[in-house]
């Protein structure tokens, strides 16, 4: 995506240094951070400097490559196994993270140079797959459609293009009139802060709505289509995505609104038979209790927005059953959310 007249990827690697857009600073400040050590990259994944399934995967692949470049001659194997464990412990729900570390770990057994090449291949594939998801997803978007989103599954969530927003970008570029209702997506407000920022940069008409406004808009037929991303898809089509996705899917079914999930095939975990097996990350309560923003003078603050002394519970994801999913938009086409179609997509027997 172009920002201030320059094309950027969300995360990339030059030499032994990983660079990424600091998503914790958006939309108030556009800043690039440089990470010279795989542990620094781990920290960036954990604290959500980088976030989103594909971007997490690419960052994890680069972190694994960094570890191979840093590994000492003595005790190299133990160092690499510990590094892999550290990287994979950063965000337990996102399938792309594990997919990337495994590929780079295996490539790194040949040489550190091979690890770097493999990590770059993963990032390039992510961008290509996201672009193709946009091409297939554009086919279900009609002119003058109002589209609902949840969280951020756009360019910032992947290396480029994104998943849930990629069809929107393609539709806009092809001349279709589209309008996006952007769920704010509490507690971290990825919709209000990131999706809205992306759409503004791309010149796509949109409005930010409270998370709990979607049902009313659907009941009034003001949303024609819902597209969300995914952090992990089970073999039976159950989908793990940002907390709140399940509620949107239930309401969409109630009001007969198509509910699509956009994700590359590497987000599918064939070893996970159903959503009940997916580990749901629980994050710190401070994300619920506090919010960041800027005052009228442009000074950023973090403030308590909840009752002082109260505790908070903060599950980061929920599971949407396959029977609520109208289809999965992949880089190879749109498939039904069931075991047969998913295994066929992956070239495996159901």
pLDDT at residue 216, as a whole number: 97
pLDDT at residue 173, as a whole number: 96
pLDDT tens digits, one per residue of 59-98: 999 999 999 999 998 999 999 999 999 999 999 888 899 9
* CATH class of the domain at 2-130: mainly alpha
- Residue 209's pLDDT band, with cuts at 50, 70 and 90, is very high
pLDDT at residue 349, as a whole number: 76
pLDDT tens digits, one per residue of 95-129: 899 999 999 999 999 999 999 999 999 999 999 99
CA distance 281 to 260: 23
- Residue 298's pLDDT band, with cuts at 50, 70 and 90, is confident
Residue 295, H or E segment: none
- Residue 4's pLDDT band, with cuts at 50, 70 and 90, is confident
Mean pLDDT for 224-244 is 97
pLDDT at residue 348, as a whole number: 84
CA distance 232 to 253: 21
Q: Residue 57 above 80 pLDDT?
A: yes
The set of residues, in sequence order, having a beta carbon less than 8 Å from that of 86 and lying 6+ positions away, is 38, 39, 42
How many C-beta atoms surround the C-beta of residue 120 within 10 A? 17
pLDDT tens digits, one per residue of 15-44: 999 999 999 999 999 999 999 999 999 999
Give catalytic residues, as residue numbers: 231
Per-residue CA distances from 262 to 81, 149, 256, 276 (Å): 33, 11, 19, 21
CA distance 156 to 113: 27
Phi-psi region of 333 (alpha: psi -120 to 50; beta: other; left: phi over 0): left
Residue 304, H or E segment: strand 300-304
The set of residues, in sequence order, having a beta carbon less than 8 Å from that of 223 and lying 6+ positions away, is 146, 147, 148, 181, 214, 217, 257
Task: Please state which CATH number belongs to domain 134-278+316-345.
Answer: 3.40.50.10470
Q: pLDDT exceeding 70 applies to what percent of the chain?
A: 100
Give the pair of three-digit tokens for residue 231: 């952090």
- Residue 345's pLDDT band, with cuts at 50, 70 and 90, is very high
- Residue 1's pLDDT band, with cuts at 50, 70 and 90, is confident
In the chain, what are the domain boundaries? 2-130, 134-278+316-345, 282-315
Total H helices, total E strands in the chain: 12, 18
Summary mean pLDDT of the chain:
95
Return the higher-pLDDT residue of 349 and 346: 346
Mean pLDDT for 326-347 is 96
pLDDT tens digits, one per residue of 135-146: 999 999 999 999
The torsion angles phi and psi of 6, rounded to 5 degrees, stand at -130, 140
pLDDT at residue 225, as a whole number: 98
């Amino acid at each position: 995506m172009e920002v201030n007249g320059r094309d950027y990827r969300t995360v990339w690697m030059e030499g032994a240094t990983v660079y990424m857009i600091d998503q914790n600073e958006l939309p108030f400040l556009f800043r690039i951070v440089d990470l010279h050590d795989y542990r620094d990259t781990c920290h960036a994944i954990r604290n959500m400097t980088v976030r989103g399934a594909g971007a997490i995967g690419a960052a994890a692949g680069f972190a694994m490559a960094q570890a191979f470049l840093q590994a000492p001659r003595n005790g190299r194997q133990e160092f690499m196994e510990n590094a892999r464990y550290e990287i994979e412990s950063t965000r337990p729900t996102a399938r792309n993270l594990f997919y990337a570390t495994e590929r780079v770990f295996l490539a790194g057994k040949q040489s550190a140079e091979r690890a770097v090449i493999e990590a770059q291949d993963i990032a390039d594939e992510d961008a290509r797959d996201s672009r193709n998801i946009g091409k297939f997803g554009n086919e279900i978007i009609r002119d003058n459609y109002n589209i609902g989103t949840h969280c951020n599954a756009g360019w910032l969530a992947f290396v480029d293009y994104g998943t849930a927003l990629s069809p929107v970008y393609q539709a806009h570029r092809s001349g279709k009139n589209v309008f996006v209702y952007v769920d704010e997506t509490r507690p971290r407000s990825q919709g209000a802060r990131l999706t809205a920022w992306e759409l503004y940069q791309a010149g796509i008409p949109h409005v930010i709505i409270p998370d709990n406004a979607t049902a009313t808009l659907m009941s009034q037929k003001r949303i024609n289509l819902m597209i969300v991303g995914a952090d992990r898809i089970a073999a039976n089509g159950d989908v793990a995505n940002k907390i709140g996705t399940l509620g949107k899917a239930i309401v969409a079914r109630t009001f007969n609104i198509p509910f699509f999930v956009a994700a590359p095939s590497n987000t599918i975990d064939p070893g996970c038979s159903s959503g009940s097996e997916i580990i749901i990350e629980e994050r710190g309560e401070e994300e619920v209790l506090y919010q960041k923003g800027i005052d009228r003078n442009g000074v950023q603050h973090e403030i308590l927005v909840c009752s002082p002394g109260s505790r908070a519970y903060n599950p980061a994801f929920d599971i949407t059953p396959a029977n609520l999913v109208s289809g999965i938009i992949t880089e190879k086409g749109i498939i039904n959310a069931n075991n047969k179609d998913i295994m066929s997509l992956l070239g495996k027997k159901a």
